[in-house]
Amino acid sequence: MPNDTALLLGQFLRAPATIGAIVPSSRRLAAAVCAPVPERGEPIVVEIGPGTGPFTAEIQRRLDGRGHHLAVELNERMAALLAERFPAVEVVHGDAAKLTGLLAERGLHRADVLISGLPWAAFPSSLQTDLMDAVTAAMSPAGAFTTFSYIHAIPLSSARRFRALLNERFEEVVAGRTVWRNAPPAFVFNARRPRP
């Protein structure tokens, strides 16, 4: 989507510390990230940092009208785009660090699946910790958390710190295979059962 690429690039140039990509994620990466969305039932799926919506579209495809999909986007322009593009999604222009409050305001219980498009490796330690506190507090005890990292970020100290934080906060963390058909190539972290 050329317009999405132009929007992402423009927003990245304005705020490179909060916008982690200059092109939208590929369908292959979206399929890998959204794999934990269950095929049955009425799950509460929370998406943080949806950007222009490649994961949003895949979540909606998998839900097919079931459950509740809440998408929290800090960037006002992208939140407006998502709300227009995905009328079945409850889009909130807000801060993911306030996730438990956002859920409570809507009468929602904890998330069954929490999917992140946030650029964790771009964040300082304090922000990584604050966001992870919000993520784990918002999840059900058997919940699944999924995010991704670009392969070029692997050697960064902030990426290693994030991986350690995942292992500290979840009972199970599995790194998936590299999705080469993404720009840039990326791999997925699947985490389950947040520690109390």
Can you give the pLDDT at residue 75? 92
DSSP string, 9-43: HHHHHH-TTT---SSPPPHHHHHHHTTTS-SSS--
Question: pLDDT confidence of 101, banded at 50, 70, 90?
Answer: very high
Question: pLDDT confidence of 8, banded at 50, 70, 90?
Answer: very low
- Taking only the tens place, the pLDDT of each residue in 103-129 is 999 999 899 999 999 999 999 999 999
The domains of the chain are located at 25-194
Can you give the pLDDT at residue 57? 97
List the single range of 16-20, 82-86, 108-112 with lowest mean pLDDT: 16-20
Residue 15 CA: distances (Å) to CA of 3, 85, 150: 18, 23, 19
Contact 150, 184 (CB under 8 A): yes
Can you give the pLDDT at residue 28? 96
Average pLDDT, rounded, for the chain: 90
Q: What is the DSSP letter of 174?
A: E
Question: pLDDT confidence of 1, banded at 50, 70, 90?
Answer: very low
Share of the chain above pLDDT 90, in %: 84
Give the residue-averaged pLDDT of 55-83.
96
Give the residue-averaged pLDDT of 15-19.
52
| Residue range 25-194 in CATH 3.40.50.150 | yes
Give the residue-averaged pLDDT of 26-48.
96
pLDDT at residue 79 tops 70: yes
Q: What is the DSSP letter of 182?
A: S
Distance (Å, whole) CA 97 – CA 84:
24
HSE toward the beta carbon, residue 89, CA cutoff 13 A: 30
Distance (Å, whole) CA 119 – CA 100:
20
**In this structure, which long-range contacts are made by residues 149-155, counting pairs with CB atoms below 8 Å and at least 24 apart in sequence?**
149/120, 149/121, 149/186, 149/187, 149/189, 150/121, 150/184, 150/185, 150/186, 151/178, 151/184, 151/185, 151/186, 151/187, 152/184, 153/121
What phi-psi label fits residue 44: left (phi over 0), alpha (psi between -120 and 50 degrees) or beta?
Answer: beta
